[in-house]
Amino acid sequence: MLFHVRMDVKLPPDMPADVAEPLKAKEKARFQELQRSGTWRHIWRIAGQYANVSIFDVDSPTQLHEYLMSLPLFPYMQIEVMPLCRHPSSLHNDDR
């Protein structure tokens, strides 16, 4: 199942850099792990915002929820999820 996920990161403005930077590094490592596995298929930064739009390929909404909760920045995110389905006019066969 494909999901369009928008993630807006809202770190506290007073979070010390020595706390924020390791957290961001852990987030990047987890993201890259999910990307290498094919779970996190695409990510795009939203210009001018600490936010992204991503495409996840997972077996179920529950699995997506578990992956999102595993992100180190999850407690600081506002997340919007939209399930996707293949458009009948798509030329790409890998759009599940």
The model's pLDDT over 25-70, given as tens digits with 9 standing for 90+, comes to: 999 999 999 999 999 999 999 999 999 999 999 999 999 999 999 9
Rg (CA), the chain: 15
- Write down the mean pLDDT value for the chain: 95
Q: Is 10 part of a structural domain of the chain? A: yes
Tokens for 2? 């494909």
Overall domain count for the chain: 1
Does 90 map to a domain? no
3-state class of 6 per DSSP?
strand
Look at residue 9 and tell me if it is in a domain.
Answer: yes
94 found inside a domain: no
Question: What is the residue-wise DSSP string for 34-85?
Answer: HHHTTSEEEEEEPTTSSEEEEEEE-S-HHHHHHHHHTSTTGGGEEEEEEEE-
Q: Does residue 59 belong to any structural domain of this protein?
A: yes
pLDDT digits (tens, 9 = 90+) for 61-91: 999 999 999 999 999 999 999 999 888 888 8
pLDDT tier at 96, thresholds 50, 70, 90: low
Pairing status of strand 51-57 against strand 2-9: antiparallel
| Structural domain boundaries enclosing 75 | 2-84
CATH of the domain at 80: 3.30.70.1060
